[in-house]
Amino acid sequence: MEESRSEIQFLRGPQSRWEEFTFTVKVLMEFVKGFRALHFVGPCVTVFGSARFKEDHEYYILTRQIAAEIAKLGFTIMTGGGQGLMEAANRGAKDVHGRSVGCNILLPHEQLPNSYLDKWVRIRYFFVRKTLLIKYSFAFIVMPGGFGTLDEFFEALTLTQTGKILQFPIILFGRSFHKELLDHIELMKRQHTISPEDLELILVTDSVDDAISFIKKKSIARYGLVPARKWSPAKWLLEGR
């Protein structure tokens, strides 16, 4: 895929001035495309999770349930737009007539948007996609997943720890699945590579009710959040519908 080759070439090190300029322009246009598509989706809660779980799996069922309850609060459910637990989250929003959006990634083996999205945008570069998933979110739900899910989890943690984003709640579902990860986080705390207060906005749970209460307390009440859109898109700016 041409987009993948250009990104690989850029990350090999210094290129010609022209090649680096044109790559920068491509990245800029990706951000503009994402901003225009997602500007009016309303306050979101982003759900991270594996694309590999099928609809009869317990984590799929749980993800669908938690997304439905969050959508009832008035939030838009945002995901990476793919299959598995991303599909489950978008599907949960649709179950209760909530709004559901996706930020899909272009891959060599194409990841198609799932069928439960009201709106989606396709992005070439992972770092642009991660920025968009975080930019519009007022809470993060981390379901069981692989490398990508953990990358997104620690990205949200790092940005919160360093004050680059507001301290929105991060909810980690699946105590048994994440047992070794949680053990390592405890090790980091004992070794003082992280501070105890760094983890105050993380909730580790298997309970949908606890997750909803945490979002109400740490996001809605704390920031006076009103999940509603005030403005309509401007067609002449090519903004989302």
Q: Could you read off the pLDDT of 11-69 as tens digits, one per residue?
A: 677 888 888 899 899 999 999 999 999 988 989 999 999 999 999 999 999 999 999 99
Q: Is residue 135 part of a domain?
A: yes
Q: Is residue 239 part of a domain?
A: no
pLDDT of 40 reads 86
Range of the domain at 91: 2-225
Q: Residue 84 sits in a domain of what CATH number?
A: 3.40.50.450
Q: Is residue 48 part of a domain?
A: yes
Domain count, the chain: 1
Q: Is residue 17 part of a domain?
A: yes
Q: Is residue 237 part of a domain?
A: no
HSE-up of residue 116 (Cα within 13 Å, Cβ side): 28
Q: Is residue 234 part of a domain?
A: no
Q: Is residue 76 part of a domain?
A: yes
What is the mean pLDDT of the segment spanning 66-82?
96
Q: Is residue 164 part of a domain?
A: yes
**Each residue of 110-137: pLDDT tens digit?**
578 999 999 999 999 989 999 999 999 9
Q: How far apart are CA 38 and CA 102, in angstroms?
A: 9
Residues of the chain with pLDDT > 70, as a percent, come to 88
List of residues 6+ apart from 25 with CB closer than 8 A: none
